[in-house]
A = this chain, B = another copy of it.
Amino acid sequence: MSVANADTSLTMSDVSTVEKSSPAERAEWVANPPEPPGIWREVIESLRDTMFPDPNKLSSLKNKTGTAVVGSLLQGVFPILCWGQSYNLGKFKNDILAGLTLASLCIPQSIGYANLAKLDPQYGLYTSIVPPLVYAVLGSSREIAIGPVAIVSLLLPSMIQKIQDPAANPLAYKNLVFTVTFFAGIFQAAFGLFRLGFLVDFLSHAAIVGFMGGAAIVIGLQQLKGLLGITHFTNKTDILSVMEAVFGSFHHHNDQWNPFNFIIGSSFLSFILITKLLGKKYKKVFWLPAIAPLLCVILSTLLVFLTRADRQGVKIVKRVPAGLNPISARHIQIHSPHFSQILNAAFIVAVIALTEALAVGRSLASMKGYNIDGNRELVALGFMNLAGSLTSCYAATGSLSRSAVNFGAGCETAVSNVVMAVTVMISLEMFAKLLYFTPNAILASIILSALPGLIDLHKAYNIWKIDKLDFLACLAAFLGVLFLSVEFGLLLSLVISFAKIIVISIKPGTEILGKLPGSDTFCDIHQYPMALNTPGVLIIRVKSGLLCFANANFVKDRILRFISSQEDASAKRITHFLVIDLSNLMNIDTSGIASLEELQNSLAASGIELAIANPKWQVIHKLKVANFVAKLKGRVFLSVGEAVDACLTAKMGAI
């Protein structure tokens, strides 16, 4: 789709000289198109299209002075320079309000997610400082809230604890987490730099809905450990293992669950859920659900401190070291015996993190009417995680729930992320010690309260309504994550999605066309029951985008069978001409051409003439090269209408 070509082609105003054309002339146009781009040119063009999607931007640079060029390049790399120019006090006020709301939600969530990731609480807070700051400078989304998220916090331990047990060797486990985060950042930045953002699209919408739902339930199940105060829990994430561990804890006397944990957790969970309902109902108190988790942390910590419930078996967070992110660069293990496992985990973490961030960013951007360049976004997320891995953060991305809070609180730019990060920083410096008596159960209930947002039954129902096969991919991801493992669920839905593409692409089908009354259009007689048959001419359209080895024989047999079945019904042959509408075919291969040739031979033996209509560029080119066009003796037409007209004329001539 090149602009130049579109512009040089004639416009309707200067047409008088070419306005007239005979059917024969048009048939000539069909049979002799210009040479289509060869495979090398197509590969090169699609590479260029991916690497430099905006040739105008490059050429427009040429007309500028040196400073202007540097300026617009810098603006390209740092979007902050773009929106920073129009930043003002009014916007700043809004950003501060949004940032503080965000921080009050982010602090308890970060601690909870760190717990989910089997790390000490401070690492969740660290992850809410560096990545948001980096993103604010590099990223182009204005509403996204950066930090640790539930899914990634689940993914990391589920993959890393196969290499290192976090309970047995927490230091080695932590180093592995940083290493995986480091490589995830490299993957993300590389995807963006090499403009491979489209890879993220390979996780279909349906698969993501199913995956998120399954992961939410898995995360919820993991919280049973904190909520019930169980010491010995399973390392597996599937529902069966977890239920076994939970029921086991009811029976073991020396490792029983503790009812105090459950009482604290569930009562505060009810409180958070009620504030959520209130916030949904009365838009004025939107801040209530946002600060409820922080309120719960403060209240429950006070409660435990005053009653010394920790002596009754209530599990608490204990010491959280004060101070900012320590440098973790020396913990990155480039030379590790588990290198391939690390890369594998990093790849999955990178893709899942990108998927969530892009989905959040795109949907919020389209609400505000601006567009996000996916690949640039990947670079920002990648560098943010790279920086994070060097400063004791684990993999961060855009959080679904907190971004919605940020949006609802009226954020204007990424400055709200900065405000949040600074707030977290201050809290970490000043209030870290106060977290000593925070009960683990409260962290579990904060995570649990965030999960319903991940399960989107409405979307799942819509998918079911629109596309049953899509729903199958959704269900496979859901059940796979739930009953097997996170990776397996993803893989399964990926396989189903691509199998669906193959099935739909090669599904051998044909449809009979009829003429719509009052127009020259020929349509599927099932889609348009008012369409009319043309006596003596059978018009068939191939119902797939490809006529290839996998379906060509079937299509041929079906057409021949249909013609012979018509002959059976009335003793006399009623079809004299077969027009095949090739307009659906994007491409054809050698097996497809061979089938068309066999079809023509069989038809010729029965005295039926074959004509083809409306072949696409690649198809007519290949048919020409394979000499099939020559065998058709000119019966190649621009449209079904012209083919039918020609057939009827030939029939008249024969009579």
Residues on A lying within 8 angstroms of B by beta carbon are 1, 3, 5-7, 9-13, 15, 18-22, 26, 29, 33-34, 36, 38-39, 46, 49, 53-56, 60, 198, 201-207, 362, 366, 369, 371, 374, 462-463, 465-470, 497-498, 500-502, 504-508, 510-512, 514-521, 523-535, 540, 543-546, 548-554, 557-558, 560-562, 565-566, 568-569, 583-584, 586-587, 589-591, 593-594, 598, 601-602, 605, 616-617, 620, 622, 625-626, 638-639
Contact = CB atoms under 8 A, between A and B. Distances in A.
A524 B34 CA distance: 12
Given A6-B533, A502-B502, A525-B5, A198 B553 contact: yes
Contacts of A558: 1, 49, 53
Nearest to A367: B601
A362 B597 CA distance: 13
Contacts of A544: 545, 586
A525 B6 contact: yes
A191 to B, nearest CB: 14
B568 A517 contact: no
Contacts of A516: 21, 26, 29, 638
A205 B591 contact: yes
A639 B521 contact: yes
Given A36-B526, A543-B586, 16 more contacts: A1-B540, A9-B525, A20-B517, A20-B518, A33-B528, A34-B526, A34-B529, A204-B589, A205-B590, A205-B594, A206-B589, A371-B602, A462-B626, A466-B593, A501-B550, A584-B586
A205 B549 contact: yes
Contact of A3 (B468, B535, B562, B589): B562
**Tally of this chain's copies:** 2
A511 B1 contact: yes
20 contacts: A9-B531, A9-B532, A21-B519, A34-B527, A34-B529, A46-B507, A49-B558, A56-B565, A56-B569, A198-B508, A371-B602, A465-B625, A501-B550, A502-B505, A504-B546, A505-B546, A521-B638, A521-B639, A527-B617, A584-B586
A532 B15 contact: yes
Contacts of A584: 545, 583-584, 586
Contacts of A371: 560, 602
Contacts of A626: 462, 466
A511 B45 CA distance: 14
A22 to B, nearest CB: 8
Contacts of A462: 590, 626
Contacts of A527: 33-34, 36, 616-617, 620
Contact of A11 (B13, B504, B533): B533
A457 to B, nearest CB: 15
B548 A586 contact: no
A253 to B, nearest CB: 47
A419 to B, nearest CB: 29
Contacts of A38: 468
A547 to B, nearest CB: 11
Nearest to A201: B553
B617 A526 contact: yes
A362 B556 CA distance: 13
Contacts of A528: 29, 33
B532 A12 contact: yes
Interface centre among A517, A520, A590 (most CB of B within 10 A): A590
Nearest to A552: B201
B56 A586 contact: no
A37 to B, nearest CB: 8
Q: Lowest 4 A-B CB distances belong to which pairs?
A: A545-B545, A204-B549, A21-B518, A505-B505
